Amino acid sequence: DTEVTQTPKHLVMGMTNKKSLKCEQHMGHRAMYWYKQKAKKPPELMFVYSYEKLSINESVPSRFSPECPNSSLLNLHLHALQPEDSALYLCASSQVLASTDTQYFGPGTRLTVL
Amino acid sequence: AQSVSQHNHHVILSEAASLELGCNYSYGGTVNLFWYVQYPGQHLQLLLKYFSGDPLVKGIKGFEAEFIKSKFSFNLRKPSVQWSDTAEYFCAVNATSGAGNNRKLIWGLGTSLAVNP
């Protein structure tokens, strides 16, 4: 099973709301990623967790807060977002944080900030 | 710093035409190379990857790519495209050494392929 699941599929939120995106994988992978993707553009890396510890933060604004409760789950907490944060948010996982590892992507959460 | 360049931003082909999408990277060390595809409304998925060995790699759905080290290239090819190949194609590169940031994928800007039936 090479599936990464994400919920919700779509999310509309106001600029004062607090919401969370969820990601789950059951492949035993120990590296998990959050990406942001605008239409017809490549994914932009936001955060990487390796063995449940934050390994890479690509200078993401603090209104995005990642959390890795266990090796299968990855959350992205959202607060006080801006309209320009509207995008497809992708979760991915790989066996470990190694340059040879394939990243498996989830279907994404389509986020609209009003 | 590593970078990836995809020369063709938009490609339009008729069914049965041959496809070649260019990908060049800049990095002096050893690299791992990937092609990902994103079909309309679907998630990113791996087409093929190269780490070492035979520079001609075969992937899913009849795609192949050739790593030419001297040209820093990893071009994607398919002899005969189908309408169902309509998608965004992304080339990505990762270094084989270094810690932390050197292990993130560096993505090209993508190529949008439209295949007319």
> Are the C-beta atoms of B85 and B78 separated by less than 8 Å?
yes
pLDDT tens for each residue of A70-104 = 999 999 999 999 999 999 999 999 998 887 889 99
Q: Would you state the pLDDT for residue B96?
A: 60
The tokens for A33 are 């990623």
Give dist(CA A22, CA B106) in Å, integer: 24
Asked whether the predicted pLDDT for residue A2 surpasses 70, the reply is no
Q: List the single best residue of A99, A100, A101 to mutate versus B (max B Cβ within 10 A).
A: A99
Compare CB distances from A55 to B92, B96, B100 and report the shortest one's residue: B100
The tokens for A26 are 């059951």
* Distance to chain B for A105, nearest Cα, Å: 6
> Which residues 6+ apart lie within 8 Å of B79 measured at CB?
B18, B62
- Confidence bin at B8 (pLDDT 50/70/90): confident
Task: Count CB neighbours of B82 within 10 A.
Answer: 13
Give dist(CA B12, CA B16) in Å, integer: 12
Average pLDDT, chain A: 94
Nearest to A109 by CA among A82, A74, A80: A74
Q: Which residues pair with residue A77 across a beta bridge? A: A20, A65
Average pLDDT, chain B: 91
Chain B residues whose CB is inside 8 A of the A41 CB are 109-110
Between B28 and B97, name the one with better pLDDT: B28
CB contacts < 8 A (A, B):
51
Contact flag A105-B45 (C-beta cutoff 8 Å): yes
Which string of DSSP letters, residue by residue, matches B13-81?
Answer: EETT--EEE--EEE-SS-EEEEEEEE-TTS--EEEEEE-SS-SEEE-GGG-EEEEEGGGTEEEEEESS-
Q: Which residues pair with residue B112 across a beta bridge? A: B10, B88
